[in-house]
Amino acid sequence: MRGKGGIGKSFLAFYIAQYVREKTGKCLVFDTDPLNATLARTSALEAQVVKILADDHITIMKNAFDLMIEACETMDADVVIDVGASSFVPMLEYFAKNGVYDLWHEMGHTCIPHSIITGKDFKDTCKMFGGVMEKTGRLSSVSSIVWLNPFAGPVEQNGMGFDDTVFYRDNKDAIKSVRPMPAFTDEMMHHDFLAMMDKGGTFNEVIADPGLSLRRKQRTKMMKREVMSVLDRAGMF
């Protein structure tokens, strides 16, 4: 997971971690985002907090990468890593220099970076996607998924969508899929979703909570179905 701040990265990481656990029954989750730590606040995901930036928020602590990769190698499970915008490119560089992509390929795994494109920051988010592809686009063991986040408006600039950009044209063979990101614009659903995240809950925990109203649980069931359906269509498995 990657992206600049304020584009929906925390929401998407929250969706993906629950989706993978729902589909596989087990999922190793790492939260390396020094600012939000969204997954770490969700206790049911059992996310491990990994500090990969020093206190100056600039220096990369490479030993933290080593420990995280070693944990991935020893666990028979899919892995979700939530990475802050400032540390994502250094992480990709570390993976490349230390042969992590080749190692995962030998183990039968595929690395799937997730990038988010927005209308508000269309140019910047497209450029950041291009930066990701410069690091990973020619690797057969890496296949990207691009998410179009429509929450703040149409994902385009001057009538040009993502698939009209040079970033898409130059990298389309390395993109697994381009999908609209789940966005709950209904006022009540949006309120329920934010309340769930603020309290560190998951879809399943809200649905099973006897202290919540039937209406709220039904709205949460609808949100969960939408998220699972959208991620199914993205082709992660």
What ranges do the domains of the chain cover?
Answer: 9-185
Q: What is the pTM of this model?
A: 0.88
**What's the token pair of residue 203?**
């879809």
Between these two residues, 222 and 65, which has the higher pLDDT value? 222
pLDDT tier at 188 (50, 70, 90 boundaries)? very high
| Residues 136 and 142 sit within 8 Å (Cβ to Cβ) | yes
pLDDT tier at 87 (50, 70, 90 boundaries)? confident
pLDDT tier at 179 (50, 70, 90 boundaries)? very high
Bridge partners (DSSP) of residue 118 are 149
| Residues 203 and 220 sit within 8 Å (Cβ to Cβ) | yes
Span 92-102, pLDDT tens digits: 778 888 888 88
Of 198, 230, 205, the closest CA to residue 16 belongs to 230
Between these two residues, 193 and 89, which has the higher pLDDT value? 193
Q: Specify the CATH architecture of the domain 9-185.
A: 3-Layer(aba) Sandwich (3.40)
Neighbours of 8 (CB within 10 A): 20
Q: What is the mean pLDDT of the chain?
A: 87
| Residues 199 and 211 sit within 8 Å (Cβ to Cβ) | no
The dihedral sign for the CA sequence 55, 57, 62, 65: positive
- Residue 190: Cβ-neighbour burial (10 angstroms; 0-12, 13-18, 19+): middle
Of 183, 175, 185, the closest CA to residue 126 belongs to 175
Of 22, 33, 45, the closest CA to residue 197 belongs to 45
| Residues 32 and 87 sit within 8 Å (Cβ to Cβ) | yes
* Main-chain dihedrals φ then ψ at residue 27, nearest 5 degrees: -160, 130
Side-chain half-sphere exposure of 144, counting CA atoms within 13 A: 28
